Amino acid sequence: MTLQVFGLPVSRGVAIGRAVLVASSRIDVAHYYIDPVDAPAEISRLRVARKRVSVELEALKQAVPADAQHELVALLDVHLMLLNDEAVAEATCAWIIDRHYNAEWAMAAQLEVLARQFDEMEDDYLRERKADLEQVAERVLRALADKSGERGTSAVGPKVGARDFAGEDPLVLVANDISPADMLQFKGSVFTGFVTDVGGKNSHTAIVARSLDIPAVVGAREASRLIRQDDWVIIDGDAGLVIVDPPPIVLEEYRFRQRQSQVERERLHRLRHKAAVTLDGARVELLANIELPGDAPGALASGAEGIGLFRSEFLFMNREGALPDEEEQYVAYRDAVLAMNGLPVTIRTVDIGADKPLERMSGHELRHEHTLNPAMGLRAIRWSLSEPQMFEAQVRAIYRAAAHGAVRLLIPMLTHANEITASLAVIKRVREQLMRESVAHGAIEVGAMVEVPAAALSLPLFLRHFDFVSIGTNDLIQYTLAIDRADEAVAHLYDPWHPAVLRLIADTIQQANQAGKGVCVCGEMAGDIEFTEVLIGFGLRSFSMHPACIPAVKQRILRSEARRLEAYAHDVLRSEDPRTVVRAAITSSVKAAA
């Protein structure tokens, strides 16, 4: 039966494929593909885990007091029966053999299938046995975890990137949620798109999806419950629509849209070597946002003139508490700098917090850094200043990478003068250390993120201390409007067109230009073609965005006149409803073209 599930569109395009469900569990489950030759070893791991649980349950039976309720023993017998069901065991092994899932993923996938079968049973007693099944499965998953400590505990992408493992059909991922770090596993993976139950349009998970140019829908609420393993699914990333089990005519329509989209991408790609200059000669710099050094070649291929934002925090995530040291960071930054062939690279110091929690070791236990309100907590520069050794190691690595090319250092979430003073003191101290030690390093420009209203309103202070500023519109909107951008319940209130947001951005650009300091927008607005003309009208001449967005933004710039857009931007700022000005301008353009 065809179903339609609605969510928030976060990454444009169409994906068509069979659903792969990452089932939610009360314990962490690793999801990765194995090499076919390792299938027997994974099946052996599963067999050992089942045997271990069987021994545990038998021991529990023996420990039941003689005067205990008979139902206790009967319940344990039910668990043993479910555990030793060979049909279930064979079906779980089939996921390993046919799909090349690791043992944990195979167990979770089979649990999902069986849980749905129990839900459909008419007999109340049998239907309630689903809870027993889940308890048994979680015992097996815990046993597997004890035997696989060397594996990652949250990756959803393939450990081996061969598309052959997916079989003939393309795959789309369906989950309750996917962390931003897990999203990076999509690079080169078999998944062509994803759907999540939760999430906001400007959460970091959505941002990474856009940077990977993967069609995606988040905040789809019931998607992981309504969609079944292997269902054919269409993800309409433009409309925020997920179509489950589509009829042939709908499937063919979306396949046609896919082909059209590919033709348009190829046409825009031909602009990659053309300079971004308006019709009246205003030169605009188009930079790329990246998460890892391996993204740099793709940025170059898209026509980027440098890296405007290297999100270094992704080097710190999904590491089970083992944070990268100076040498590892240096190699990563150096590789990105070398890959850009002399073009500038702006490295933001680690921005951990909010929807990018950091795993830390506490004693011998792995824990996650969570607070009651992580968006307002110990994140970004606040965390760095609280971890001086790590902060100094990162700054040293950035300075050393600057020996290989043009590097700029960008500090996130600054709000107070004492934070500015403390940060610059660390940077100065590190450079003096490197000079004393005769360690090769280069000169760097130091900039500040403007992503909190306090920073925008204190801009003269920032411009006195820094070489440039970069406006992080994602957080600026969030903090100006008091909206958690990762929460789909309030996502409709997250409004980049809010007059207060636009005024803060326009004032920041104007003041930086007047002071002769560089200013760039590196948030999602930079890559959104709806805002291209407005930002140019504000006086912005440097945009940093996902590489996939550069061709479309460049096309918009090539068709614009900067002088005309100044008056347009002024009208936008004066309006209580800026969208009405935008709609009127679009209507006027259409009439003129006609």
3-class DSSP string for 315-330 = HCCCCCCCCCCHHHHH
Q: State the pLDDT at residue 554.
A: 96
58 belongs to a structural domain:
yes
Q: What pairs with residue 178 in β-bridges?
A: none
Print the domain residue range for 427: 274-593
User: Where is average pLDDT lowest: 10-14, 81-85, 92-96, 367-371?
Assistant: 367-371
Q: Are residues 281 and 259 in the same domain?
A: no
Q: Are residues 333 and 478 in the same domain?
A: yes
CA distance 73 to 146: 27
The residues that are catalytic are 204, 522
398 belongs to a structural domain:
yes
Q: Are 88 and 114 in contact (CB under 8 A)?
A: yes
Mean pLDDT score, 41-46: 92
157 belongs to a structural domain:
no
Report the CATH number at residue 85: 1.10.274.10
CA-angle at 407, arms to 278 and 315, nearest 5°: 110
Model pLDDT for residues 435-447, shown as the tens digit of each residue: 999 999 999 999 9
CA distances from 148 to 44, 144, 151, 152, 303 (A): 12, 6, 6, 9, 43
Q: State the pLDDT at residue 504.
A: 98
Model pLDDT for residues 5-26, shown as the tens digit of each residue: 999 888 888 999 999 887 555 4
Q: Among 147, 177, 198, which residue terminates a domain? A: 147
Average model confidence (pLDDT) across the chain:
84
Secondary structure (3-state) at 21: strand
Report the CATH number at residue 535: 3.20.20.60
Q: Are residues 200 and 54 in the same domain?
A: no
User: Where is average pLDDT lowest: 70-79, 211-220, 463-472?
Assistant: 70-79
DSSP 8-state symbol, 277: B
Secondary structure (3-state) at 101: strand
Q: Among 232, 266, 300, which residue terminates a domain? A: 266
- Return the higher-pLDDT residue of 534 and 125: 534
Q: Are residues 103 and 203 in the same domain?
A: no
Model pLDDT for residues 21-41, shown as the tens digit of each residue: 875 554 567 778 888 999 999
CA distance 272 to 18: 34
pLDDT at 547 over 50: yes
Domains in the chain, number: 3
pLDDT at 76 over 80: no
Model pLDDT for residues 87-146, shown as the tens digit of each residue: 889 999 999 998 899 998 888 888 888 877 877 777 665 666 676 777 788 888 888 877
220 belongs to a structural domain:
yes
Report the CATH number at residue 226: 3.50.30.10
Q: Are residues 462 and 323 in the same domain?
A: yes
User: Where is average pLDDT lowest: 121-135, 216-230, 548-562?
Assistant: 121-135
Q: Are residues 455 and 562 in the same domain?
A: yes
Q: Are residues 107 and 202 in the same domain?
A: no
Q: Are residues 459 and 587 in the same domain?
A: yes
List all residues 6 or more positions away from 489 whose beta carbon is below 8 Å from its beta carbon.
Answer: none
Model pLDDT for residues 397-411, shown as the tens digit of each residue: 999 999 999 999 999
Residue type, 517: K
User: Contacts by 42-46 with C-beta closer than 8 Å and gap 24+?
Assistant: 42/96, 42/102, 42/103, 42/106, 43/93, 43/96, 43/97, 43/103, 45/103, 45/144, 45/147, 45/148, 46/89, 46/92, 46/93, 46/96, 46/103, 46/106, 46/107, 46/140, 46/144
289 belongs to a structural domain:
yes
Q: Are residues 581 and 439 in the same domain?
A: yes
Q: Among 235, 250, 266, which residue terminates a domain? A: 266
Q: Are residues 9 and 40 in the same domain?
A: no
Q: State the pLDDT at residue 126.
A: 66
Q: State the pLDDT at residue 11.
A: 83
Q: Are residues 372 and 478 in the same domain?
A: yes
**Residue 224: pLDDT band by 50, 70, 90 thresholds?**
confident
CA distance 593 to 585: 12
**Tokens of residue 546, six digits:** 């996902």
Among residues of the chain, what percentage have pLDDT more than 90? 51
Mean pLDDT score, 366-391: 76
369 belongs to a structural domain:
yes
Q: State the pLDDT at residue 584.
A: 77
CA distances from 594 to 339, 530, 588, 591 (A): 45, 21, 10, 5
28 belongs to a structural domain:
no
Mean pLDDT score, 165-185: 70
Among residues of the chain, what percentage have pLDDT more than 70? 82
Model pLDDT for residues 249-295, shown as the tens digit of each residue: 999 999 999 898 888 888 888 888 899 999 999 999 999 999 889 88
Helices (H) and strands (E) in the chain, counts: 23, 18
List all residues 6 or more positions away from 465 whose beta carbon is below 8 Å from its beta carbon.
Answer: 420, 424, 448
**Residue 486: pLDDT band by 50, 70, 90 thresholds?**
low
Model pLDDT for residues 302-355, shown as the tens digit of each residue: 999 999 999 999 888 766 667 899 999 999 999 999 999 999 999 999 997 655
Neighbouring CB atoms inside 10 A of 342's CB total: 11
Q: Are residues 463 and 564 in the same domain?
A: yes
pLDDT at 153 over 80: no
154 belongs to a structural domain:
no
